[in-house]
Amino acid sequence: MKLEKSKLIGNKTIQISGSKSISNRLLILESLFSNIKIVNLSNSQDTQLLKKALSTETDTVDIHHAGTAMRFLTSYYSIQEGKTTILTGSGRMKERPIKNLVNALQNLGVEIEYLENEGFPPLKITGRKITQKKVDVPANISSQFITSLLLIAGKLENGLEINLVGEITSRSYIAMTLDILTKFGIKNLFTENTIKVESIINQSSIINYEVESDWSSASYFYSFAAIGRKTIHLKSFYKKSTQGDSAIADIYENFFGIKTIFTEDDRKLTLQPIEDFQLPEKIVLDMNNCPDIAQTLCVTAAALKIPFEISGLGTLKVKETDRLLALHNELKKLGTETEITDLTIKSIAFKETEENISIKTYQDHRMAMSFAPFCLIKELNIEDENVVEKSYPMFWKDLEEILNSN
């Protein structure tokens, strides 16, 4: 997709669909407890794939690129007593590690086999009744592994106690899961490195849950506002959000001068540039609790030529692609030289941009969307633009509302 060099149109309002993270958690709980009515479900491809998988009666389930679905369904199928399921996905999915989650489930008594490579999908899962109550899980792995276990915990006869070993990664996503469980009357307690979830036997009354819009998707509009210095309105968001990526509001106010103003009655937020804001000499930030918005921040900083040093990014290497390597490669096209480690990315020089910028997306939706705001600086091409369907199918259409290429 070719994005012309554009100007930002101020005071436009964008309605973003429900959070993918929240929607996917709710779908698992809905399938387990059947007393949930979900409003504003995410229209993302990931969520639709998970919804389809939960309704299928086939023995083989292919979730393609949907990493969240792979992790959540691994635990879900583990407690479907007497049912054997083969859970598979795309070529990239078969390269994404799942051993720590499988180990935890096996230690709880579940029968899971690797069908190709040890530690990676596809999996053959034979559902069983889990009666064991305690399990140790490494804390520095993807929070989705931990959430996967938490979502089934209330359905287990004796509940579940998870001991997180080591330093916890993406704590905010675990907190989001526990908040959702609490709203459904599933008692839980998170103290130090131990999470306890009680079993819930009777869950009869219908619970309505309106899904807050997705803060990860909102992050791209923060980038547009920061580069284009115009006001943008977004719906529907909560001031007290449980989404870890809501950290974007403070980050962009502190480093880019974009103030977030909430209108409580219609759940609208306004991204308003602060007049005469002085950009920082350097951005130094630990994004351990919100790694999914790191790409957006790096592109914004590159567009404004602000040196940056971002840490806490260990999970980015095992996403849809190695996001740190992808960032390193593609930022170079914008004239930003970087150094990367397994945990960090740091700018080392700003040079001239390439003449004909074409951004590879590496089958990663966030690469496409995070680089799009650079069109306010220079024309660029986004390769394989359809990858946005994974999380934000309406992205390119929504951009038409806020951009003027004339």
What are the catalytic residues?
292
> Which residue in this structure is represented by tokens 């080392």?
348
Burial letters 23-52, b for 16+ CB under 10 A, else e: bbbbbbbbbbbeebebebbbbbbbbbbbbe
374 phi/psi in degrees, rounded to 5: -65, -15
CA distances for 187 relative to 32, 153, 157, 207, 236, angstroms: 16, 10, 14, 16, 28
Assigned token pair, 372: 């799009």
Give the dihedral sign, CA 355/369/350/304: positive
Amino acid at 144: Q
H-assigned helices in 162-317: 171-183, 215-228, 248-256, 294-303
Task: Specify burial of residue 82 (Cβ count, 10 A radius: 0-12, 13-18, 19+).
Answer: exposed
- How far apart are the C-alpha atoms of 251 and 285, rounded to whole Å? 9
Task: Specify burial of residue 259 (Cβ count, 10 A radius: 0-12, 13-18, 19+).
Answer: middle
- How far apart are the C-alpha atoms of 230 and 255, rounded to whole Å? 16
> Which residue in this structure is represented by tokens 């792979």?
70
